[in-house]
Protein backbone atom coordinates (compact mmCIF):
# COMPACT_ATOMS: atom_id res chain seq x y z
CA UNK A 1 0.00 0.00 0.00
CA UNK A 2 1.13 3.52 -0.78
CA UNK A 3 -0.49 6.92 -1.36
CA UNK A 4 -2.65 7.04 -4.46
CA UNK A 5 -2.91 10.00 -6.82
CA UNK A 6 -6.56 10.86 -7.14
CA UNK A 7 -8.97 13.78 -7.62
CA UNK A 8 -11.91 15.21 -5.74
CA UNK A 9 -14.31 18.14 -6.13
CA UNK A 10 -14.53 20.88 -3.52
CA UNK A 11 -16.71 23.92 -2.98
CA UNK A 12 -14.88 26.85 -4.57
CA UNK A 13 -17.46 29.56 -3.78
CA UNK A 14 -20.56 29.65 -1.63
CA UNK A 15 -23.68 29.47 -3.76
CA UNK A 16 -26.14 32.23 -2.96
CA UNK A 17 -28.71 31.24 -5.59
CA UNK A 18 -28.61 28.73 -8.40
CA UNK A 19 -25.45 26.65 -8.83
CA UNK A 20 -23.08 26.90 -11.77
CA UNK A 21 -20.05 24.70 -12.52
CA UNK A 22 -17.66 27.48 -11.49
CA UNK A 23 -18.84 27.20 -7.90
CA UNK A 24 -16.86 23.94 -7.78
CA UNK A 25 -13.20 23.00 -8.27
CA UNK A 26 -11.70 19.68 -9.32
CA UNK A 27 -8.47 19.16 -7.40
CA UNK A 28 -5.70 16.58 -7.41
CA UNK A 29 -5.19 14.86 -4.08
CA UNK A 30 -3.04 12.13 -2.58
CA UNK A 31 -5.16 9.50 -0.87
CA UNK A 32 -3.23 7.87 1.96
CA UNK A 33 -3.35 4.40 3.42
CA UNK A 34 -6.27 3.23 5.53
CA UNK A 35 -5.79 3.01 9.30
CA UNK A 36 -7.22 0.36 11.58
CA UNK A 37 -10.94 -0.07 10.89
CA UNK A 38 -10.71 1.81 7.63
CA UNK A 39 -10.87 0.94 3.95
CA UNK A 40 -9.47 2.55 0.86
CA UNK A 41 -12.01 2.52 -1.95
CA UNK A 42 -12.15 3.33 -5.63
CA UNK A 43 -15.39 5.11 -6.45
CA UNK A 44 -17.59 3.49 -9.08
CA UNK A 45 -20.60 5.82 -8.91
CA UNK A 46 -21.35 9.01 -7.01
CA UNK A 47 -24.75 10.63 -6.69
CA UNK A 48 -25.69 14.17 -7.73
CA UNK A 49 -28.46 15.35 -5.39
CA UNK A 50 -30.55 18.51 -5.51
CA UNK A 51 -30.78 18.51 -1.71
CA UNK A 52 -27.05 19.14 -1.50
CA UNK A 53 -27.68 22.73 -2.54
CA UNK A 54 -29.24 23.44 0.85
CA UNK A 55 -25.75 22.95 2.33
CA UNK A 56 -23.76 25.01 -0.17
CA UNK A 57 -24.94 28.50 0.72
CA UNK A 58 -22.76 28.83 3.79
CA UNK A 59 -25.71 28.50 6.19
CA UNK A 60 -26.38 25.41 8.31
CA UNK A 61 -29.55 23.56 7.38
CA UNK A 62 -30.66 20.08 8.44
CA UNK A 63 -27.07 19.17 7.81
CA UNK A 64 -24.15 21.52 8.53
CA UNK A 65 -23.08 23.86 5.74
CA UNK A 66 -20.18 22.77 3.53
CA UNK A 67 -17.18 25.07 4.03
CA UNK A 68 -15.06 26.49 1.21
CA UNK A 69 -12.47 23.93 0.12
CA UNK A 70 -14.45 21.03 1.57
CA UNK A 71 -15.31 18.06 -0.60
CA UNK A 72 -18.94 17.94 -1.77
CA UNK A 73 -20.87 15.24 0.05
CA UNK A 74 -22.87 12.62 -1.78
CA UNK A 75 -23.73 8.98 -1.70
CA UNK A 76 -21.23 6.75 -3.44
CA UNK A 77 -20.59 3.14 -4.40
CA UNK A 78 -17.06 1.82 -4.68
CA UNK A 79 -14.78 -1.13 -4.76
CA UNK A 80 -12.52 -1.95 -1.84
CA UNK A 81 -8.84 -1.54 -2.78
CA UNK A 82 -7.34 -2.03 0.69
CA UNK A 83 -9.05 -3.16 3.86
CA UNK A 84 -8.08 -2.78 7.53
CA UNK A 85 -11.44 -4.10 8.72
CA UNK A 86 -12.14 -7.80 9.01
CA UNK A 87 -15.64 -7.50 7.61
CA UNK A 88 -14.47 -6.26 4.22
CA UNK A 89 -12.16 -7.85 1.68
CA UNK A 90 -10.39 -6.43 -1.36
CA UNK A 91 -12.83 -6.50 -4.28
CA UNK A 92 -15.95 -6.09 -2.15
CA UNK A 93 -18.39 -3.42 -3.27
CA UNK A 94 -19.54 -0.99 -0.59
CA UNK A 95 -21.94 1.95 -0.43
CA UNK A 96 -21.34 4.97 1.75
CA UNK A 97 -21.38 8.74 1.82
CA UNK A 98 -17.82 9.72 0.92
CA UNK A 99 -18.84 12.23 -1.73
CA UNK A 100 -17.28 13.46 -4.94
CA UNK A 101 -13.93 11.68 -4.72
CA UNK A 102 -12.31 9.27 -7.16
CA UNK A 103 -10.72 7.44 -4.24
CA UNK A 104 -11.32 7.71 -0.52
CA UNK A 105 -10.22 6.39 2.82
CA UNK A 106 -13.35 5.70 4.81
CA UNK A 107 -14.25 4.25 8.15
CA UNK A 108 -15.83 0.81 7.86
CA UNK A 109 -18.55 2.07 10.17
CA UNK A 110 -21.36 3.60 8.21
CA UNK A 111 -20.65 1.54 5.12
CA UNK A 112 -22.74 -1.30 3.87
CA UNK A 113 -21.77 -4.15 1.63
CA UNK A 114 -23.53 -4.28 -1.71
CA UNK A 115 -24.33 -7.62 -3.27
CA UNK A 116 -23.62 -7.67 -6.95
CA UNK A 117 -27.15 -8.64 -7.87
CA UNK A 118 -29.49 -8.25 -10.78
CA UNK A 119 -29.59 -4.46 -10.48
CA UNK A 120 -26.87 -2.15 -11.60
CA UNK A 121 -24.61 -0.90 -8.84
CA UNK A 122 -25.81 2.64 -9.43
CA UNK A 123 -29.26 1.55 -8.25
CA UNK A 124 -27.74 1.60 -4.75
CA UNK A 125 -27.62 5.39 -5.09
CA UNK A 126 -31.14 5.76 -6.42
CA UNK A 127 -34.02 3.39 -6.10
CA UNK A 128 -32.20 1.44 -3.35
CA UNK A 129 -30.55 4.54 -1.89
CA UNK A 130 -31.73 7.70 -0.19
CA UNK A 131 -34.22 8.70 -2.92
CA UNK A 132 -35.94 5.31 -2.96
CA UNK A 133 -36.00 5.20 0.83
CA UNK A 134 -37.41 8.74 0.95
CA UNK A 135 -40.21 7.66 -1.35
CA UNK A 136 -40.82 4.51 0.68
CA UNK A 137 -41.13 6.16 4.08
CA UNK A 138 -42.70 9.34 2.72
CA UNK A 139 -45.59 7.40 1.24
CA UNK A 140 -45.95 4.51 3.67
CA UNK A 141 -45.22 6.29 6.96
CA UNK A 142 -46.29 9.90 6.42
CA UNK A 143 -48.70 10.06 3.52
CA UNK A 144 -50.34 6.69 4.24
CA UNK A 145 -52.72 6.72 1.26
CA UNK A 146 -55.80 4.56 1.57
CA UNK A 147 -57.21 2.58 -1.31
CA UNK A 148 -58.97 4.86 -3.76
CA UNK A 149 -57.42 8.03 -2.42
CA UNK A 150 -55.68 10.44 -4.77
CA UNK A 151 -51.93 10.86 -4.43
CA UNK A 152 -50.15 13.71 -6.21
CA UNK A 153 -46.38 13.56 -6.68
CA UNK A 154 -44.20 16.42 -7.88
CA UNK A 155 -40.95 15.74 -9.79
CA UNK A 156 -42.71 12.58 -10.86
CA UNK A 157 -39.93 11.59 -13.25
CA UNK A 158 -37.33 12.20 -10.56
CA UNK A 159 -35.59 9.80 -8.24
CA UNK A 160 -38.01 10.23 -5.34
CA UNK A 161 -41.23 11.00 -7.18
CA UNK A 162 -41.04 8.11 -9.62
CA UNK A 163 -40.66 5.57 -6.82
CA UNK A 164 -43.20 7.31 -4.56
CA UNK A 165 -45.88 7.17 -7.22
CA UNK A 166 -45.30 3.50 -7.90
CA UNK A 167 -45.49 2.67 -4.18
CA UNK A 168 -48.71 4.67 -3.88
CA UNK A 169 -50.14 2.66 -6.80
CA UNK A 170 -49.31 -0.55 -4.92
CA UNK A 171 -51.42 0.83 -2.05
CA UNK A 172 -54.40 1.12 -4.37
CA UNK A 173 -54.29 4.88 -4.72
CA UNK A 174 -55.07 6.86 -7.84
CA UNK A 175 -51.71 8.47 -8.63
CA UNK A 176 -51.15 11.71 -10.50
CA UNK A 177 -47.70 13.06 -11.30
CA UNK A 178 -46.34 16.47 -12.15
CA UNK A 179 -43.34 16.54 -14.46
CA UNK A 180 -41.75 18.90 -16.98
CA UNK A 181 -41.84 18.11 -20.68
CA UNK A 182 -43.60 15.62 -22.93
CA UNK A 183 -40.89 12.96 -22.79
CA UNK A 184 -40.85 12.74 -19.00
CA UNK A 185 -44.63 12.82 -18.84
CA UNK A 186 -44.91 9.98 -21.33
CA UNK A 187 -42.49 7.86 -19.30
CA UNK A 188 -44.33 8.57 -16.04
CA UNK A 189 -47.65 7.53 -17.52
CA UNK A 190 -46.67 4.72 -19.85
CA UNK A 191 -43.70 3.11 -18.14
CA UNK A 192 -44.48 3.85 -14.50
CA UNK A 193 -48.24 3.43 -14.80
CA UNK A 194 -49.35 6.66 -13.14
CA UNK A 195 -53.07 7.26 -13.70
CA UNK A 196 -52.46 10.77 -15.00
CA UNK A 197 -49.62 13.20 -15.42
CA UNK A 198 -49.51 16.99 -15.60
CA UNK A 199 -46.86 18.70 -17.71
CA UNK A 200 -46.26 21.87 -15.71
CA UNK A 201 -44.42 23.39 -18.65
CA UNK A 202 -47.39 23.21 -20.98
CA UNK A 203 -50.10 24.18 -18.49
CA UNK A 204 -50.88 27.85 -18.08
CA UNK A 205 -52.84 27.30 -14.85
CA UNK A 206 -51.31 24.58 -12.72
CA UNK A 207 -54.11 24.76 -10.14
CA UNK A 208 -56.74 24.17 -12.82
CA UNK A 209 -54.73 21.24 -14.15
CA UNK A 210 -54.48 19.67 -10.69
CA UNK A 211 -58.21 20.09 -10.13
CA UNK A 212 -58.89 18.58 -13.56
CA UNK A 213 -56.76 15.49 -12.88
CA UNK A 214 -57.70 15.23 -9.19
CA UNK A 215 -61.42 16.00 -9.29
CA UNK A 216 -62.00 14.81 -5.73
CA UNK A 217 -59.03 16.74 -4.41
CA UNK A 218 -55.58 15.57 -3.40
CA UNK A 219 -55.47 13.29 -0.36
CA UNK A 220 -51.70 12.95 -0.25
CA UNK A 221 -49.19 15.31 -1.81
CA UNK A 222 -45.57 14.20 -1.77
CA UNK A 223 -43.63 17.34 -2.50
CA UNK A 224 -40.02 17.77 -3.51
CA UNK A 225 -40.39 21.20 -5.02
CA UNK A 226 -41.92 23.68 -2.57
CA UNK A 227 -42.46 27.27 -3.65
CA UNK A 228 -45.34 28.11 -5.95
CA UNK A 229 -46.06 24.48 -6.78
CA UNK A 230 -46.62 23.66 -3.12
CA UNK A 231 -48.70 26.80 -2.62
CA UNK A 232 -50.88 26.00 -5.62
CA UNK A 233 -51.43 22.45 -4.46
CA UNK A 234 -52.47 23.55 -0.96
CA UNK A 235 -55.59 25.03 -2.56
CA UNK A 236 -56.36 21.69 -4.27
CA UNK A 237 -56.19 19.39 -1.25
CA UNK A 238 -59.08 17.21 -0.13
CA UNK A 239 -60.46 17.19 3.39
CA UNK A 240 -57.86 15.84 5.84
CA UNK A 241 -55.20 15.80 3.16
CA UNK A 242 -51.58 15.14 4.05
CA UNK A 243 -48.74 17.16 2.58
CA UNK A 244 -45.43 15.36 2.90
CA UNK A 245 -42.58 17.81 2.47
CA UNK A 246 -39.51 15.81 1.55
CA UNK A 247 -37.69 18.51 -0.38
CA UNK A 248 -38.04 22.17 -1.27
CA UNK A 249 -35.89 22.48 -4.35
CA UNK A 250 -37.54 25.77 -5.31
CA UNK A 251 -36.39 27.33 -2.05
CA UNK A 252 -32.83 26.01 -1.91
CA UNK A 253 -30.39 28.82 -2.31
CA UNK A 254 -33.14 31.44 -2.47
CA UNK A 255 -33.02 33.98 0.38
CA UNK A 256 -36.27 33.95 2.40
CA UNK A 257 -37.31 37.44 1.30
CA UNK A 258 -37.12 36.40 -2.35
CA UNK A 259 -39.18 33.22 -1.94
CA UNK A 260 -42.70 33.10 -3.30
CA UNK A 261 -44.02 32.08 0.13
CA UNK A 262 -47.04 29.99 1.00
CA UNK A 263 -50.14 32.14 0.82
CA UNK A 264 -52.82 29.50 0.67
CA UNK A 265 -52.41 28.75 4.38
CA UNK A 266 -56.16 29.20 5.09
CA UNK A 267 -56.66 25.86 3.33
CA UNK A 268 -54.82 24.27 6.25
CA UNK A 269 -57.88 25.09 8.33
CA UNK A 270 -60.55 24.87 5.65
CA UNK A 271 -59.50 21.33 4.71
CA UNK A 272 -57.93 20.29 8.03
CA UNK A 273 -54.61 19.63 6.35
CA UNK A 274 -51.53 18.16 7.90
CA UNK A 275 -48.22 19.29 6.46
CA UNK A 276 -45.15 17.50 7.65
CA UNK A 277 -41.50 17.83 6.86
CA UNK A 278 -39.24 14.83 7.07
CA UNK A 279 -35.68 13.67 6.74
CA UNK A 280 -35.34 10.06 5.74
CA UNK A 281 -32.25 9.49 7.91
CA UNK A 282 -34.64 9.50 10.88
CA UNK A 283 -35.79 6.08 9.60
CA UNK A 284 -32.25 4.70 9.48
CA UNK A 285 -33.11 1.76 11.75
CA UNK A 286 -35.64 0.57 9.18
CA UNK A 287 -33.57 1.01 6.02
CA UNK A 288 -32.87 -2.72 5.83
CA UNK A 289 -36.53 -3.66 5.83
CA UNK A 290 -37.29 -1.02 3.20
CA UNK A 291 -34.44 -2.16 0.96
CA UNK A 292 -35.69 -5.76 1.09
CA UNK A 293 -39.09 -4.58 -0.13
CA UNK A 294 -37.70 -2.27 -2.82
CA UNK A 295 -35.24 -4.89 -4.07
CA UNK A 296 -38.04 -7.44 -4.27
CA UNK A 297 -40.16 -5.13 -6.40
CA UNK A 298 -37.18 -4.37 -8.63
CA UNK A 299 -36.47 -8.03 -9.11
CA UNK A 300 -40.05 -9.00 -9.92
CA UNK A 301 -40.18 -6.14 -12.41
CA UNK A 302 -42.98 -4.17 -10.73
CA UNK A 303 -40.77 -1.24 -9.76
CA UNK A 304 -39.26 0.74 -12.62
CA UNK A 305 -36.50 3.26 -12.35
CA UNK A 306 -34.34 5.32 -14.59
CA UNK A 307 -30.92 6.86 -14.28
CA UNK A 308 -29.20 9.78 -15.85
CA UNK A 309 -25.56 8.74 -15.92
CA UNK A 310 -22.78 11.19 -16.75
CA UNK A 311 -19.24 9.98 -17.36
CA UNK A 312 -16.39 10.98 -15.07
CA UNK A 313 -16.27 12.78 -11.75
CA UNK A 314 -15.52 16.02 -13.60
CA UNK A 315 -19.04 16.00 -15.07
CA UNK A 316 -20.70 16.27 -11.63
CA UNK A 317 -20.84 20.11 -11.33
CA UNK A 318 -22.56 20.61 -14.69
CA UNK A 319 -24.98 17.78 -13.99
CA UNK A 320 -25.72 19.32 -10.58
CA UNK A 321 -26.39 22.75 -12.11
CA UNK A 322 -28.68 21.16 -14.68
CA UNK A 323 -30.87 19.58 -11.96
CA UNK A 324 -32.30 23.00 -11.18
CA UNK A 325 -33.24 23.54 -14.81
CA UNK A 326 -34.94 20.14 -14.99
CA UNK A 327 -32.32 18.89 -17.46
CA UNK A 328 -31.82 15.45 -15.96
CA UNK A 329 -34.21 12.64 -16.69
CA UNK A 330 -33.94 10.05 -13.95
CA UNK A 331 -31.67 9.71 -10.96
CA UNK A 332 -28.51 11.76 -11.60
CA UNK A 333 -25.26 9.90 -10.99
CA UNK A 334 -21.73 10.10 -12.29
CA UNK A 335 -19.82 6.98 -13.29
CA UNK A 336 -16.40 7.49 -11.77
CA UNK A 337 -14.63 4.17 -12.00
- Shortest distance, CB of residue 221 to its own copies, whole angstroms? 13
Which candidate, 51, 52, 69, places its Cα nearest to that of 10? 69
> Please, which of residues 282-301 interact with its own copies by CB under 8 A?
282
What is the per-residue binding string for its own copies in 46-65, x denoting contact by CB under 8 A?
--------x------xx---
Q: Is 206 in the site for its own copies (CB under 8 A)?
A: no
Which candidate, 135, 71, 174, places its Cα nearest to that of 283? 135
- Shortest distance, CB of residue 15 to its own copies, whole angstroms? 15
- Shortest distance, CB of residue 52 to its own copies, whole angstroms? 14
By DSSP bridging, strand 274-277 and strand 237-245 are: parallel
Q: Is 208 in the site for its own copies (CB under 8 A)?
A: no
The one among 30, 263, 289, 312 contacting its own copies by CB under 8 A: 263
Q: Is 17 in the site for its own copies (CB under 8 A)?
A: no
Q: Is 71 in the site for its own copies (CB under 8 A)?
A: no
What does the alpha-carbon distance between residue 55 and residue 42 come to, in Å, rounded to a whole number? 25
- Shortest distance, CB of residue 245 to its own copies, whole angstroms? 5
Q: Please state the separation of Cα 290 from the chain's center in Å.
A: 16
Q: Give the DSSP H/E element, type plus range, for residue 227.
A: helix 227-234
- Shortest distance, CB of residue 59 to its own copies, whole angstroms? 10
Contact by Cβ (8 Å): 81, 64 = no
- In the complex with its own copies, the residue whose CB is nearer, 90 or 270, is 270
The one among 16, 117, 172, 266 contacting its own copies by CB under 8 A: 266
114 Cβ contact list (under 8 Å, min separation 6): 77, 93, 94, 95, 121, 124
Q: Is 264 in the site for its own copies (CB under 8 A)?
A: yes
Q: Give the DSSP H/E element, type plus range, for residue 295.
A: helix 287-299
Q: Give the DSSP H/E element, type plus range, for residue 76.
A: strand 76-83
The one among 3, 5, 270, 302 contacting its own copies by CB under 8 A: 270
The one among 278, 283, 297, 329 contacting its own copies by CB under 8 A: 278
The DSSP 8-state label assigned to residue 90 in this structure reads T
Rg (CA), the chain: 20
- Shortest distance, CB of residue 276 to its own copies, whole angstroms? 5
- In the complex with its own copies, the residue whose CB is nearer, 102 or 231, is 231
The DSSP 8-state label assigned to residue 87 in this structure reads T
The DSSP 8-state label assigned to residue 312 in this structure reads S
By DSSP bridging, strand 218-223 and strand 150-153 are: parallel
What does the alpha-carbon distance between residue 325 and residue 28 come to, in Å, rounded to a whole number? 29
Q: Please state the separation of Cα 184 from the chain's center in Å.
A: 17
The one among 29, 140, 275, 309 contacting its own copies by CB under 8 A: 275
By DSSP bridging, strand 103-107 and strand 38-47 are: antiparallel
The one among 81, 121, 273, 294 contacting its own copies by CB under 8 A: 273
- Shortest distance, CB of residue 203 to its own copies, whole angstroms? 19
- Shortest distance, CB of residue 210 to its own copies, whole angstroms? 16
> Please, which of residues 222-261 interact with its own copies by CB under 8 A?
226, 230-231, 245-248, 251-252, 256-257, 259-261
How many residues in the shown chain lie near its own copies by CB under 8 A? Answer: 36
The DSSP 8-state label assigned to residue 154 in this structure reads S
The one among 5, 202, 265, 299 contacting its own copies by CB under 8 A: 265
Strands (E), 84-154: 93-96, 103-107, 112-113, 150-153
- Shortest distance, CB of residue 212 to its own copies, whole angstroms? 20
Residues that bind its own copies (CB under 8 A): 54, 61-62, 226, 230-231, 245-248, 251-252, 256-257, 259-279, 282
Amino acid sequence: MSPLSSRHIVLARHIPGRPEPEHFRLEPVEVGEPGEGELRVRTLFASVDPGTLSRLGGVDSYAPAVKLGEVIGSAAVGEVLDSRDARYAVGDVVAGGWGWREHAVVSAKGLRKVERGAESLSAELGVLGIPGLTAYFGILELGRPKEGETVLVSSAAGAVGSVAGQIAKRQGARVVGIAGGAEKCRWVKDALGFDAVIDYRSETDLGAAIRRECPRGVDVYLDNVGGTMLDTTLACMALRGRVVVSGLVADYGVPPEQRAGLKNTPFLIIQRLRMEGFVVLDYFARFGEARVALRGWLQDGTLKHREHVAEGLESAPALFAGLFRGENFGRAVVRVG
